Structure 1
């Protein structure tokens, strides 16, 4: 007896759609499969059958990414998170595991760092372009997931594990690593050991003068969040990993400053904190963000109220006009 076909306007069982589209993608019809993934999942979502929409979108994202269709996969991954939000799914271990599953499907392909004499420049250019697409696609997916996690039961600033995923993918896939951006995500994660490893990798490859900036920036970011434990751990771990490679911490005034700062913050020593800032001002001026980070640290550890940017701007104007003491 032939199976009865669904009536017009009714939704087919999701497993049938998933099986059919997996075969379509395996046969190379990625574009056609993409359109159906989107249209069918949208119909389920419109019917408020969000769980089934998620099943289709998760399968679609995984299938497309597995076949190297990063743009298509990232689009479906973003729709997956959008559906989590529409369906008000809580940030718990089950939903996070689904996010992890999609994340693991994003390709991880080492980008050539150096050119040889016989390298094909066209292939290198294509590899760099593909890496940029991977990073942008995965970043968009994880940033959306962070926003969802913050809204539906996760920590106020988003799930730490998602920050780690984002930072690690940027480090592994970016053709031109922005260690400052990765650092911002790492310090909101929960894996300072991995962060230390990425810093050491960066130190081995970076230009002179970038190594101490990267270390100090990382420690100040942790401290600006009030996280003394991981700030100290990071310094110790970077030192250990460098020693294991028969390398040393950069010998610079900035490294001296951060070493003294960590000791100072262990006690009630606001005057010493201010002395350190003044004494190492010329070194700290090497990066504009350090002033703002140190202002945040002063507020967190010593209760020093920060001026808003607007107050600071007008304060400087009044000083120039002789209106301030």
Structure 2
């Protein structure tokens, strides 16, 4: 009977026939479904289903949705009352309806509010889930990666800035009788400060809501060890949750923005959070994020901080890795901050190699570069990544083509053959 109803044959064959003779019923059922008249009805039924689905989608778009601010206030009240799970499900279902109606701006507002509310209440997993949905909505709505989306006002027109505020942003700014600004060398600098003062939005605001909690340093009895274990689990959850959000944002910014590897600002956010919150710190990941970022000052200060708490032998590795990844301004900034903190660069062969390497790159001296790689090979071999980075430097600065897999293999074979012939 279920098959009859699914196929829509209830009016064609009586169910009593099945009770009398199942075999006869089955043969008649096959004959009926092979009838051209039935196939025509079936095709019309499929078209009807498609038409109904289309009408359903259109009704969904025309469905009356509450004003977004009313929805935000209602769900925020629910979450703040401790009903986190119920609020989470409501955030997801309601924003799905807004997105189906292609009201992406309202969807983003609700998701941003929901992520912030959940994170403020310590619900890291829930907040991160809504934050990722926020990024997915950016992708679905094809929202471009702009300064406004990342957190800065796109315009930043100085003519709209209050004169009192401009005075606080730069103490040397003055105005003549016509109201024109005078007395500062860089109007562009002031414009950047003004755009920043207008407030960080969207991605930056959500990121700032992720908890940043220091790990306990002093351990005593078993209770302290239990607290440490719980803190490690919580820290790992925070890092994974925030990283999933920021990595999704980087992917979106690479697709809809001008930067091949994604927004430099988001890379810096990710580097900061991994460094400050990760219970198992991987400085290579931190360095990669900073290199793809746009804040060498922050990168240098992070390295200085790392030097004060790392194990012996890790400080020069971290500095060498960072400089080999991005030598631009980093070494000078690092030396400046070390001087401010009354610290010195590590005294090691690896640091000597880095110093000579930077001088070699300034002189465009390929033979000297090769001599340095050979002389300091034991120090370079301390980390496998160094050889790959040096190959990239050789290609970028000296035009040396990197060997592919087969080329490298045959080159090694020829070297062996040549050595045997000479012997």
1:138 alignment partner in structure 2: 242
Residues 1:46 and 1:250: Cα distance change in structure 2 (over 3 Å): same
Cα deviation digits, residues 265-301 of structure 1 (max 9, x gap): 0122111111111111111011000000000000010
Q: Return the structure number with greater relative CO, CA threshold 8 A, min gap 6.
A: 1
TM-score of the two chains, using structure 2 as the length reference:
0.70
* 2:290 equivalent to 1:186: yes
Q: Which residue matches 2:85?
A: 31
Would you say 1:171 and 2:275 are equivalent positions? yes
Question: Which residue number corresponds to residue 224 of structure 2?
Answer: 120
| Other-structure match for 1:237 | 333
- Pairwise CA distance, 1:114: 4.2
Are positions 1:247 and 2:343 aligned together?
A: yes
Alignment of 1:79 with 2:133, yes or no, is yes
Q: Distance in 2 between matches of 1:154 and 1:200?
A: 31
- Say yes or no: does 1:15 pair with 2:15: no
Matches within 5 A, 1:161-310: 161-223=265-327, 228=328, 230=329, 234-309=330-405
**1:197–1:238 CA contact under 8 A, matched in 2:** yes
Larger radius of gyration: 2
Q: CA RMSD in A?
A: 2.3
Give CA-to-partner distance per residue, 1:167-204, whole Å, 9 cap, x none: 01111111222111100000111111111111111111
Aligned to 2:196: none
Deviations 1:148-179 (A, max 9, x none): 11111231211111111000111111122211
Unaligned stretches of 5+ residues in structure 2 = 1-61, 152-201
Return the alpha-carbon distance in structure 1 between the equivalents of residues 208 and 139 of structure 2.
Answer: 21
Change (3 A) 1:114 1:240: farther
Contact 1:145 1:162 in 2 (8 A): yes
C-alpha separation in 2, matches of 1:180 and 1:41: 38
Aligned residues: 312
Q: 1:235 to 1:14 in 2, by over 3 A?
A: same
SS in 1 for 2:213: coil
User: Closer, same or farther in 2 for the Cα pair 1:301/1:13, shift >3 Å?
Assistant: same
Instruction: Output one character per residue of 1:98-137: Cα deviation in whole Å (capped at 9) or x when no partner.
Output: 1111111111111124424576222111111111111111
SS in 2 for 1:266: helix
Distance 2:71 2:413 in 1: 65
State yes or no: 1:42 paired with 2:108. no
Q: Distance in 1 between matches of 2:101 and 2:410?
A: 55
Cα distance in structure 1, aligned partners of 2:337 and 2:300: 8
- Deviation, 1:9, is 4.7
Structure 2 counterpart of 1:3? none
Partner SS for 2:343: coil
Is residue 257–residue 263 contact of structure 2 (8 Å, CA) maintained in 1? no
